[in-house]
Amino acid sequence: MPPLFEEIDSQPSALGEISLRKRVIPALGTEPIYEVKLGEEYLMSSMFVEAEEQLSHLGLAAVAGEQLSVVVGGLGLGYTAVAALEDSRVTELLVVDALETVIDWHRQELVPLGRVLNADGRCRYVLGSFFDLAVGAQGGFDTAQPGRQFDAILLDIDHSPSEFLNAGNAQFYTGEKLQAMAAQLKQGGVFAMWSQNSPDQGFMALLGEVFADVSSHIVSFYNPFQQVNATNTVYVCKMPSGIEDV
């Protein structure tokens, strides 16, 4: 049997100590569970990935086109990024993360999906603040091609539109900042976002001021610790596709 617990890496960051752990819970089987913690707070677990994967599936399902350029904000354990690459229309994927440590875990293949992302030539890691790049800092998400636009932007960083990984992120959730980010989407492009909470009607109304179409999707998954079905939310927001949508 593999070791029941292993801390694979722990590094200081601008947000605090960030660590990557692996553990086995015999009652749940022998498959290792990978976890990311920031200080004492759990950020990500490979046990609960359904909503992270649905962020990509639901977001990209709303985009028309045969060739898609996609931005993922927040690398985590890589599940959103890998799910995006499952769409054969995706020709380019930029994965933005502010923590070099998290990117290094994937580059060094310390996490299971690192090998998948590293082997796919469509995927490129971008070290930087999603929230700064979203509003046009350094020319936008692709600093090598300032001002370019994308077919989809998929965001999974904060816990919800009102619960933030970093207090400074709060300023992003305003009409002005969302509008600046939307300028990096093509006509008909989609912004999708994960939240751990139920749909927030106030946030939905704010999104409706920026995007032509806004919907929320509740994703259910089983939590074996509490022995209940839990839910997360995926917001999907679409830009006008042309003059007929204005």
Instruction: Kindly state whether residue 140 falls inside one of the protein's structural domains.
Output: yes
> Of 1-5, 88-92, 238-242, which one has max mean pLDDT?
88-92
Does any domain span residue 15?
Answer: no
Total number of domains in the chain: 1
- 33 in any annotated domain: no
Domain CATH number, residue 93 = 3.40.50.150
pLDDT confidence bin for 40, thresholds 50/70/90: confident
197 lies in some domain: yes
Q: Is residue 23 part of a domain?
A: no
26 within domain boundaries: no
* Residue 51 phi, psi (nearest 5): -70, -35
Q: What is the pLDDT of residues 61-78, one digit of tens each?
A: 999 999 999 999 999 999
Asked whether residue 215 is assigned to any structural domain, the reply reads yes
Q: Is residue 3 part of a domain?
A: no
Taking only the tens place, the pLDDT of each residue in 81-114 is 999 999 999 999 999 999 999 999 999 999 999 9
In this prediction the pTM is 0.95
Question: Which residues is 125 bridged to in the sheet?
Answer: 95
* Domain region containing 80: 49-245
Long-range contacts of 82-85 (CB under 8 A, 24+ apart): 82/113, 82/116, 82/117, 83/52, 83/53, 83/54, 83/55, 83/56, 83/57, 84/56, 84/60, 84/154, 85/116, 85/117, 85/120, 85/122, 85/123
